[in-house]
Amino acid sequence: MSAPKHRATTPTRPPLIHPARRPIAPRRLRLGQREILTQGLSREVWHDLFHHFMTVSWPRLFATLAGFFLVFDILFGFLYHLVPGCIANLNPPGFAGAFFFSVETLATVGYGDMHPQTLYGHSVAMVEIFVGLMSLALITGIMFARFSRPRARFLFTKNLVVRPIDGKLTLLIRAANQRQNVVQDASAQLRMLRDEVTAEGFRIRRVLDLPLVRSQHPMFILGWTVMHLIDHTSPLKAETAESMRKSRTSFVLSISGTDETTGQVLMARAEYTSDDIRWNATFRDILEEADDGTLHLDYGKFHEVESLAESDAEPPHT
């Protein structure tokens, strides 16, 4: 009688136990006039230092650089203080003298009164000089990148207006170049964002392009009125103020162009909600012509809107 056969079994592995993850604090963002909280994304500054230094405010940037400088000065000063006598003519004596010598060495100043006099002192000073040179190069690069970054000074009206032009309903936004220099080949794009539900019942935030009457400007110097014609092909053809509120409709206007002075590409955008639309209204004219033919532009009236009929008139269906 043969012995019963035993079937080989694979040992079961213990379940993997993942270490407890530290909760990530939510991040508060502002998109246009809406406030958004995001969470679950790591915000380790060390992984994106360049972006951090390019986007942080100037006071925080200078405070961070000063903090690094102070920490390195204290660290190397402590190393000098560990071995008494490694620095000649130490004044004042003790840690204070070592700290001030560290400041001079890290900044590569070297007044000459205090100097290393032992192999240990020279070795520490050599490392500190290298750190100081690298720090100076990094700080110079950050400052140059921040100052050389192109910034557009485009001014956008606080509201959109909808009014008839040549018998057709038209959406208008006014923009201006605050520097009043030549921005060559400026281009504008207007997009509408709204909540929609597909035939399958899937809720989606859809982005729609709104064609402009003129999307290019050869020389954007003073002002530019961006216009979208609300005809039978427009996504706004059947919209009302109430329907846009329900779908949380918003608008994004982007303008870009080449600065003739620096040759750099300038970009700026403005965000609006459906509540920013003024129906059956128009922008106040800012252009006046004097008796001698001189044109006067009053930008103090740039944001002013005046009604064509009733200020709260609902838009007609087209």
Statement: residue 306 has pLDDT above 70:
yes
Q: Can you give the pLDDT at residue 265? A: 92
**The tokens of 93 are what?**
């004596």
CB distance 104 to 111 below 8 Å: yes
Q: Is the pTM of this model over 0.85?
A: no
Please tell me the distance from the alpha carbon of residue 303 to that of residue 300, in angstroms, as a whole number.
Answer: 8
Contacts of 302 by beta carbon, 8 Å cutoff, 6+ apart: 155, 157, 174, 176, 286
Instruction: Read off the pLDDT of each residue in 291-307 and give the average, rounded to a whole number.
Output: 88
Q: Domains for the chain: give ranges and CATH numbers.
A: 29-148 (1.10.287.70), 154-307 (2.60.40.1400)
Statement: residue 313 has pLDDT above 50:
no
Residue whose token pair is 């006099």: 117
Please tell me the distance from the alpha carbon of residue 32 to that of residue 274, in angstroms, as a whole number.
Answer: 12
Q: How confident is the model at residue 42 (pLDDT cuts 50, 70, 90)?
A: low
Q: How confident is the model at residue 99 (pLDDT cuts 50, 70, 90)?
A: very high
**Cis omega (within 30 of 0) on the bond before 92?**
yes
CB distance 193 to 216 below 8 Å: no
C-alpha torsion sign, points 284, 286, 289, 293: negative
H-assigned helices in the chain: 49-55, 58-82, 95-106, 119-148, 241-246
* Start-to-end C-alpha separation, the chain: 95
Contacts of 220 by beta carbon, 8 Å cutoff, 6+ apart: 177, 182, 183, 186, 255, 257
| pLDDT tens digits, one per residue of 110-145 | 888 899 999 999 999 999 999 999 999 999 999 998
CB distance 173 to 160 below 8 Å: yes
User: Which carries the bigger pLDDT value, residue 220 or residue 23?
Assistant: 220
Q: Which of 33-37, 82-86, 148-152 has the lowest mean pLDDT?
A: 33-37
Q: Can you give the pLDDT at residue 41? A: 66
